[in-house]
Amino acid sequence: MNDQVYVDGIEAVGVIEATGFVPIFDAVDSMTKAAEITVCSVNKIGAHLVACIVSGELAAVRVALDVGEESARAVGATDVKSVVFASPSDPIQVLAESAPSLLGAR
């Protein structure tokens, strides 16, 4: 891996979202244990939807989201959605870095 390419940026970004706080809390717990990823933020975006943004190496993010989705479903969430951005564009990186201030209630 070439470290210099990613000096400033985030390598890969993943977003996982479900209805209810507990499924996402469970997902965060298992994601951090399963792979070496950073949890950027957990955002309550209304209508019981909670979204969690993670970053890290692509493989780690992929594994983490798989595990996270599985454990969120195990707690009873039916509408778990997730997506991996292998090489996130600037807006997605900004979203990962400062989602709470972007999505915060005003």
Partner 1 sequence: MPAAKNSLGGDGRRAIGMIETKGLVPLAVAIEAMVKTTDVECVAIDRVGDGFLAAAVVGRVAPVRYAMEAGVDAARAYGEVSSAQVYPQPHDVSRTVVEGIANRELTERTGSARLGTGRKGA
C-beta of 3 vs 91, nearer to partner 1? 91
C-beta of 52 vs 63, nearer to partner 1? 52
> With contact defined as beta carbons under 8 Å apart, do 17 and 51 qualify?
yes
Residue 34 interacts with partner 1 (CB under 8 A): yes or no = no
Min. distance of Cβ 34 from partner 1 in angstroms? 20
Instruction: Reduce the DSSP state of residue 8 to 3 states and report it.
Output: coil
According to CB under 8 A, which one of 49, 58, 67, 75 is a site residue for partner 1? 49
Residue 46 interacts with partner 1 (CB under 8 A): yes or no = yes
Min. distance of Cβ 77 from partner 1 in angstroms? 13
Q: Return the exposure string of 68-90: e unless at least 16 CB atoms fall within 10 Å of the residue's CB, then b.
A: bbebbbeeebeebebebbeebee
DSSP string for 26-62: HHHHHHHHHS-EEEEEEEEEETTEEEEEEEE-HHHHH
Binding site for partner 1 (CB under 8 A): 15-17, 43, 45-49, 51, 53, 81-83, 85, 88-95, 97-99, 101-105
